[in-house]
Amino acid sequence: MGDSEAVVTDSSASMDYTSAVYNSTGSGACPPEATGDPNASGAPVDGTYAASGGYLNSAGQKGQICVTNESKPTGGSTDGNAINAGNTAVDATKTAGYSISLNGYIVNEARNTTTVENGNVLDNVGIASNAPEFVGSVPAMSGEEDRLWSIVRANSLDFNAWTALIEETEKVAEDNILKIRKVYDAFLAEFPLCYGYWKKYADHEARIGSMDKVVEVYERAVQGVTYSVDIWVLYCSFAIETYGDPETIRRLFERGLAYVGTDYLSFPLWDKYIEYEYMHQEWSCLAVIYTRLLENPNHQLDRYFNSFKELAGSRPLSELRTAEEAAAYVSGIASEADGEVLEGEVRPGAAEQTPKPVSAGSTEAVELEKYVAIREALYKKAKEFDSKILGFETAIRRPYFHVRPLNVSELENWHNYLDFVEREGDVNKVVKLYERCLIACANYPEYWIRYVLCMEASGRMDLADNALARATRVFVKRQPEIHLFDARFKEQHGDIPGARAAYQLVHSEISPGLLEAIIKHANMESRLGKLDDAFSLYEQAIAIEKGKEHSQTLPMLFAQYSRFSFLVSGNAEKAREILTRALDHVQLSKPFLEALIHFETILPPLRQIDYLESLVDKFLAPSLDGSTADKEDLSSIFLEVIICVKRVACILPRHIGHEWRFEFAWKTEIVYNHKFDLLFF
């Protein structure tokens, strides 16, 4: 195909297992207005697509994609923006300033900015939040626009401010497409899963811009929200209305189904495909579509089976068979005539091929019965698995993305669903369910972390690294939890510079002064033998916190620094010196004194119990601020420690001496670590 069909990637090559399908996460819908909740969900299919034009199911078995004879466009096409369905597996086609490769990546060469696939940042390009540059000047903003832009620049996660900004821009922009592009590009870089806004963007381009730009927006949309059933339905509907070449449109359907075809709620896209083939009376293509549908659980599985039986009962079998099936049937008759004995064995995955006849005199009715029976067997198997997952599926109330939090029961249901599929042991299904989960749960680091660890345990480091990159660069990039996990994960896999960079990002941008980040970073440097660097991290953090008025972090920072110093160097005097220095800068508080009490239990005798008691008495004094509950709790803790220390001192001379004392100290250490969750060696 020529340059007029150079945008849509061929589905046959878009399913590279490591670089396309699982380079990204799911679908979702942010509503056009801040209060709406459009329903959308998506999940990848159970198979990859082979470059030969066939498809591979979850067992790696080859089937057929329904493609009729090549035909030329019959109308509705415009130069530079028709859909390309015939790219080779090696070359990338360029159009409208884009370099388009078959694994679905798109990089805007003219603007040299980042485009993401489901939020996946492309290598060596930049950060996903960078908005494209614009050719020409954007008109001056209204006062309200300027105010709203200031808000979203200060807090790019303020979804309501973004929607207000889009509404204001649409109101004042009129036919100025540059204004509209600026706000939509910036918003969708921050919230790429909001398929509803991709649709609105495309509508603006259709109204004001050019058809090339509409295609460009849809291409960016299916890269940004690849697992959205709705966006593929919208794109395919646009293609049907715009282009006349059936093969181009079929390839676009196949490309979408490669990602969302086995989503439990994928029936809108399948229905659109069925409607299109029915309109063209391509009965063999319809039969293939129904056969594929019957292989997997689907919300409308019963309806599809009944529709298939109606089709089989209303059309001759010769119209339902594909060319491949018809050839196999003729070959079977010829083999029988030659006296060859046929075993009648159906090859695995050959559901779309009619079994070879057992005799040349088989009637049409018998053949049709066999044809239907094979598909009924697929249907029954799918129904069996459907019964196992139906409870999980019905508990998913919001399968699409939204900024509002999910309720606890739905979050637990996702964990239970993932547990079930992981126990099944099919890594392919596990990956797909995680990708679907991360549509609705994109804002929850725990699911990203679980996905990464699961892929690591499965030996799929490519998928683990990819999921972690998406989490840290796009979806939960402002949450310190994911960056601390990223640092530890990179350290464990030998990427020390990457681990340090992750910690530094937390220190400098994500959450400066975060105690957990300081502790974990120092512990890593200690593990690497860089004790001076570890001590320096504490000293720098303390210096910064001392400059703050009423720092809540400073007391615990001193306490942890003291513990760390003793545990890595064994120097009790230096550890106590750090605590003594701390008292000149911090106010006595329950957390600080509690840390000191437990720290004293791991120090060797002679312990400074009297000095510690004086600090506790000072905190318990009525003149010092502090709640009665805190004071009572601290008093009980201190009393318990004194009793334990005295019992140890009394028992040690008569029993097993140092070994018993070491065991006691070890138990105290474990309790402390569990309670405060601060020290991670």
What is the spatial distance between Cα 241 and Cα 184, in angstroms, rounded to a whole number?
Answer: 24
DSSP 342: P
Using 50, 70 and 90 to split pLDDT, how confident is the model at 553?
Answer: confident
Distance CA 28, CA 40 (A): 6
pLDDT digits (tens, 9 = 90+) for 267-312: 999 999 999 999 999 999 999 999 999 999 999 999 999 999 999 9
Please report which confidence band the pLDDT of residue 411 belongs to, taking 50, 70 and 90 as the band edges: very high
Nearest to 264 by CA among 426, 448, 390: 390
Q: Which of 518, 523, 525 is nearest to 554 (CA)?
A: 518
Per the CB < 8 A criterion, the answer to whether 578 and 565 are in contact is: yes
Neighbours of 671 (CB within 10 A): 12
- Among the listed residues 465, 474, 389, the one whose alpha carbon sits nearest the alpha carbon of residue 429: 389
- CA proximity to 484, closest of 434, 532, 446: 446
Name the one residue in this structure whose structure tokens are 């890593």.
524
Select from 637, 636, 644, 678 the least CA-distant residue to 663: 644
**Spatial distance between the Cα atoms of 675 and 672, rounded to a whole number of angstroms:** 5
pLDDT at residue 53 in the model: 31
Percent of the chain whose predicted confidence (pLDDT) is above 70: 66
Q: What is the pLDDT of residue 485?
A: 98
Q: pLDDT-based confidence at 527, cuts 50/70/90?
A: very high
Closest to 20 (Cα-Cα) out of 60, 63, 52, 51: 51
Q: What is the pLDDT of residue 606?
A: 52
Task: Indicate whether this model's pTM tops 0.85.
Answer: no
- Amino acid 219: pLDDT: 96
Q: Model confidence over 362-390: pLDDT tens digits?
A: 577 888 999 999 999 999 999 999 999 99
Tens digits of residue pLDDT in 621-636: 766 666 677 777 777 7
Q: How much is the pLDDT for 39?
A: 35
Give mean pLDDT, residues 418-424: 95
Q: What is the model's pLDDT at position 332?
A: 62
Residue 87 contacts residue 93 (beta carbons within 8 Å): yes
- Provide the terminal-to-terminal Cα distance of the chain, rounded to the nearest Å: 60
Give me the pLDDT at residue 605, please. 62
Statement: residue 678 has pLDDT above 70: no
H/E element holding 146? helix 143-154
Q: Are the beta carbons of 17 and 226 closer than 8 angstroms?
A: no
pLDDT tens for residues 495-525?
Answer: 999 999 999 999 999 999 999 999 999 999 9
Higher pLDDT, 318 or 138: 318
Rounded to the nearest integer, the mean pLDDT of the chain is: 74
Cβ atoms < 10 Å from Cβ of 57: 21
pLDDT recorded at residue 591: 77
pLDDT of residue 321 exceeding 60, the answer is yes
In which band, very low, low, confident or very high, does the pLDDT at 645 lie, cut at 50, 70 and 90? low
Domains plus CATH for the chain?
Answer: 143-323+369-384 (1.25.40.10), 403-478 (1.25.40), 587-680 (no CATH)
